[in-house]
Structure 1
Amino acid sequence: MTAIRQAPVGLAPIGPGTHAPGHAARAVAASLGIAFGVVAVLAVLLYLVSALGTTGVAIASVAALVPFLLVLLTIRWVDRWEPEPRPALIFAVLWGAGVAVSVALIFDLGVQIVLSVSGGAPNDFVQAAVQAPLVEESAKGFGVLLLFWINRRHFDGPVDGIVYAASVAAGFAFTENILYFGRVLVENGLGAAFLFTFVARGVFSPFAHVLFTSCTGFAIGMVAERGRGAAAGFGAYLLGLIPAVILHALWNGGLSLAANTIEYYLLIEVPIFLGAVAVVLVVRGRERAITRARLGEYAQAGWFTPQEVALISTPSGRKQALRWADTQRDPRGKKAAMNRLIRDATRLGHARQRLLQGRATIGRTPDEQELLARIVADRTLLTS
């Protein structure tokens, strides 16, 4: 691990706005957004307790934690290359668990009131295959759109869109599972029916909502990658809703109509899920390629060696670098410094990508010299 070279960069600066005037306003907006999400979650929790009882909600919540944690671990794996800010991810989960669920419940209540007044009868299939996909995907996807509008600094492309959408979906599915598990528990107790519902929703379909909403996140992410504005983001939101709603309706309606639900699941839903996994792997590969290409430009300018670029821009290289840090004196400190170096070098590459796409002035962008100074400081710690 050779020391980083402190030569003139010779590249255009990433841009002004290291301390953009709107940064404080965005921090306040993030705090208010999280607070709003918490209030919405508490309101939904009160509704669930009133409908299912404290014990029912408690047991259902424990069961719902299993698929929820599985999805969160998957999101962390997808997001590990250039992690999104934690407040944004917390907001996304709260939006799904509180706001989106509230919208769906209120809309459903409105439909029931209209049917009661008009003398109409509810149609379970229409509710499952039409109403739920339209309302739920619109509400979940709007949370992703808000992050695009407010958090542009950390919304670089389709991977980020998928991560935010999956986080919203994880929160929504968690609350929805509490509702489903709790209802079964109240009606049938802790027996075979409860176990069947847990296996069906928690084991066979923990990623269903993630798959649906990720379509919207992917569409918004593509617009973000091209540096488009708020109006284009809204257009991408509407466009992404189309596959999201279709897949959601296919899931709900197909399972309701299929003569053999297991066969339908294996022949239709599993291939769709595998296709989605393939898309995620492709866009994650593009994210790594961007890091490698942009850091390669800095290597040409003398800031990195080609070997260092390979270490930072490949998963195996990063593991090798962290293993090296573990063998040094003060391994904890060295590993922390290596993690910071990898993080800042990745941010440097993506900040440069924003410049090349004309997005350097979006949000608070640390300039080139600031990021390089952090990298030099970390390398000093690693070589001392």
Structure 2
Amino acid sequence: MSTPSSYPGPGNAWAPRPGYRRSGYPAVSPAQPSSAPAWTPQAMVHRRRGAVASAIMACLGAIGLAVMLWIIYASTATAASELLVPILLALVPLSIVLVTVRWIDRWEPEPPGVLAAAFLWGAGVATIVSLVINTSASLLVSSTTGSVSGGEFVSAVVTAPIVEESTKGLGVLIIFLLWRRTFNGAVDGIVYAAVVAAGFAFAENILYFVQYSDALLVTFLMRGIASPFAHVTFTACTGLAIGASVRMRSNLAWMWTTPLGLACAIMLHSFWNGILTSDPSLYFFVAIPFFIAAIGLVLWLRWSERMTMRQRLADYQRAGWFSPAEVTMITTGAGRAAARRWAKSRGPAAARAMQAFLKAAAALAQLRQQAIDGHADADFAAQESALLAAIVEQRYAFTR
């Protein structure tokens, strides 16, 4: 059985790999893992700023959602109790989306507070801004042309895609700029985009379920069951583009990838609304193959992320921090499940230690990948030392 002081460390074999922005990082002594700093002033500043920013985003979103619900209540003369059924129905597609997002994000879960801020941005800020602008545009076109249907068509195919995808995409971009450390690639971008879009769809579904209460079942089946991932798929284009910029050398790559992703999101949204407006029967011929392709892309991105994690942990394996069996265990679903079952059989403390071990290993792999991509922070060495110390400590906790 290994102890923190006897577990093999890097020794003279460790050296930073090519691609680091800086060189000459000191090796962490395996004999004194507890001496590694658990935090740095820079990290604490990041946490404080992040907490304040997430609170501001969440408050804005909550206010926006409350205003939208009040507008629904005031404009439809609906009793407050009558909003309960639409809200409950809107929770069905929301649950489907969030469970899927959780599955996609299971390798390295994003901070819950940031995800909550993303959801409320979509449900509140993006929804209320889109509602005001889309309604105004529809009324303007209708009054100008004298055609109500013309105004609705322009709103659905032109205004809505531009405004909705811009406001949702802005939320993803704000999260990226404020919590850049939590973005490790395209998958993270998709996750945040999906949560923003899920919040937007949740609020919008409530509006539609109230507005079309005389055809509630059909509306629910079309929006809640047949197409719960529509908004998610559109906004995921923006999120994917922002996330992909993380893997590029330039710190400003997001400035050109974001508009490209947003353009794709707007075009897909416009195409989708155009199909539903002109011929809803085309849904099954267009939407189903499209969503199958989107699922395939997400699966490939998750596989690519897992392979990247394996490569980065293999660097530490060669330096002596992990055994080959541990790398396989950490980077495979079956291995992680087996490890959790084994640790659980040894008691709650071992189960918690195993969970912390897996989380620290994933964070370590992402940290090293950031350095290889040229985006290492000034406190990279301190972060790496703290994660390695945590890995040794948690390994000892679940093996003793």
TM-score normalised by L of structure 2: 0.87
Out of 81, 85, 91, the position equivalent to 1:59 is 85
Out of 232, 249, 274, the position equivalent to 1:210 is 232
Distance in 1, Cα, partners of 2:380 & 2:58: 20
Query: RMSD value over aligned CA atoms?
Result: 2.3
Q: Which ranges of structure 2 fall in alignment gaps of 5 or more residues? A: 17-24, 28-36
Q: Is the 8 A contact 2:101 2:194 kept in 1?
A: yes
Counterpart in the other structure of 2:325: 307
Q: Relative contact order, CA 8 A, sep 6+: which one is greater? A: 1
Counterpart in the other structure of 2:358: 342
Q: What whole-Å deviation, never above 9, does each CA across 1:98-142 have from its counterpart, x for those lacking one?
A: 011111112124325645775744422222111111111111111
Secondary structure of the residue that 1:358 maps to in structure 2? coil
Distance in 2, Cα, partners of 1:158 & 1:278: 14
Does 2:102 correspond to 1:76?
A: yes
Counterpart in the other structure of 2:41: 19
What amino acid is the match of 2:350? K
Distance in 2, Cα, partners of 1:141 & 1:364: 29
Distance in 2, Cα, partners of 1:111 & 1:381: 61
Counterpart in the other structure of 2:171: 143
Counterpart in the other structure of 1:233: 254
Counterpart in the other structure of 2:72: 48
Counterpart in the other structure of 2:340: 322
Q: Is the 8 A contact 1:351 1:365 kept in 2?
A: no
Aligned-residue offset at 1:287: 1.0
Counterpart in the other structure of 2:19: none
Does 2:59 correspond to 1:35?
A: yes
What amino acid is the match of 1:238? P
Aligned-residue offset at 1:175: 0.4
CA distance change for structure 1 residues 57 and 68 in 2, over 3 Å: closer, same or farther?
A: same
**After alignment, is 241-250 or 92-101 more displaced?**
241-250
Aligned-residue offset at 1:313: 1.1
Q: Is the 8 A contact 1:97 1:174 kept in 2?
A: yes
Aligned-residue offset at 1:284: 0.5
Q: What whole-Å deviation, never above 9, does each CA across 1:138-172 have from its counterpart, x for those lacking one?
A: 11111111111111010111000000000011000
Out of 273, 280, 283, the position equivalent to 1:265 is 283
User: Which aligned pairs between 1:1-384 and structure 2 lie closer than 5 A?
Assistant: 5-8=7-10, 10-12=14-16, 13=25, 18-20=40-42, 22-23=45-46, 24-52=48-76, 53=78, 54-112=80-138, 114-115=140-141, 118=144, 120-122=146-148, 123=150, 124-185=152-213, 188=214, 193-229=215-251, 231-258=252-279, 261-262=280-281, 264-328=282-346, 330=347, 332-361=348-377, 367-384=383-400
Secondary structure of the residue that 1:100 maps to in structure 2? helix
Q: How many corresponding residue pairs?
A: 372
Aligned-residue offset at 1:92: 0.9
What amino acid is the match of 1:220? I
What amino acid is the match of 1:198? F
CA distance change for structure 1 residues 39 and 228 in 2, over 3 Å: closer, same or farther?
A: farther
What amino acid is the match of 2:357? L
Q: What whole-Å deviation, never above 9, does each CA across 1:216-272 have from its counterpart, x for those lacking one?
A: 11111111222543x5323222111222111111211112222xx34x222211111
